[in-house]
Amino acid sequence: MSNLDSQRSSQDSSSIARDTADTHAVTEVEAISYHASFPSRPRLLYRTGKAWSPPRGPDAHGRRKMLYPVFNHPIVVGIMGTHKVIFTTIDVVRFKMFEFEDTSSKDCPDIGPVTIWIGVVPDSTTATTAQDAAQVILALLKDYGITDVDVDFRESRYIHAVGPQLFGPVIRVDPLVDVIGPLTPTLGLGISTTTSPAVEGTMALYLAEGGDSDKLLGLTCRHVLFGRKEANVDFVHYPGGRTVDVVLLGERAFKDFTGSIQLKIEDRAISAELYRRSIKERERTRGTTDEAEKAQENRRLKQACLNKEEEAVRSLGAFLAVVNAEWKEPEDRVLGPIRHSPAIRRGVGERRFTEDWGIFEVDRAKLGDGFRGNKIDLGSKITPGEFVRKCFPRGDGDWRFEYPIYGQLALSGTLTDDLMRDPDMWGPNGEPCLLVIKSGNTTGATIGRANGVLSVVRNYADENMEIYDTSMEWAIMDYDKDSGGFSAPGDSGAIIADIRGRIGGMITGGCGKGETFDLTYATPFWWLLERIRANGFPNVHLNVFEDSL
pLDDT mean by block of 10 residues, the chain; 549 residues: 33 39 80 80 83 60 68 59 70 75 48 85 86 85 81 84 66 78 85 89 94 95 90 90 91 90 94 89 64 79 92 93 90 93 92 95 88 89 88 69 88 95 84 91 91 87 72 91 85 94 94 81 96 96 69
Within 10 angstroms of residue 83's Cβ, the number of other Cβ atoms is: 17
Residue 227: which region, alpha, beta or left (left: phi > 0; alpha: psi -120 to 50)? beta
Burial of 293 (0-12, 13-18, 19+ CB in 10 A): exposed
Which of 168, 150, 132, 140 has its CA nearest to residue 52? Answer: 150
Burial of 38 (0-12, 13-18, 19+ CB in 10 A): buried
CB 95 within 8 Å of CB 68? yes
| Sequence letter at residue 63 | R
- pLDDT for 103: 41
- pLDDT for 549: 37
The 8-class DSSP code of residue 492 comes to T
- pLDDT for 495: 96
Burial of 85 (0-12, 13-18, 19+ CB in 10 A): buried
What is the spatial distance between Cα 409 and Cα 375, in angstroms, rounded to a whole number? 5
CA dihedral over 39, 40, 41, 47, signed as positive or negative: negative
CB 364 within 8 Å of CB 207? no
- pLDDT for 98: 66
What is the spatial distance between Cα 344 and Cα 354, in angstroms, rounded to a whole number? 7
The CA-CA-CA angle for residues 508, 514, 517, to 5°, reads 45
Residue 49: which region, alpha, beta or left (left: phi > 0; alpha: psi -120 to 50)? left
- pLDDT for 211: 93
| pTM, 2 dp | 0.77
- pLDDT for 58: 45
Where along the chain do its domains lie?
Answer: 2-155, 181-249+333-534, 252-326
Supply the CATH classification number for the domain 252-326: 1.10.287
SS (H, E, C) 61-84: CCCEEEEECCECCCCCCHHHHHCC
CB 374 within 8 Å of CB 187? yes
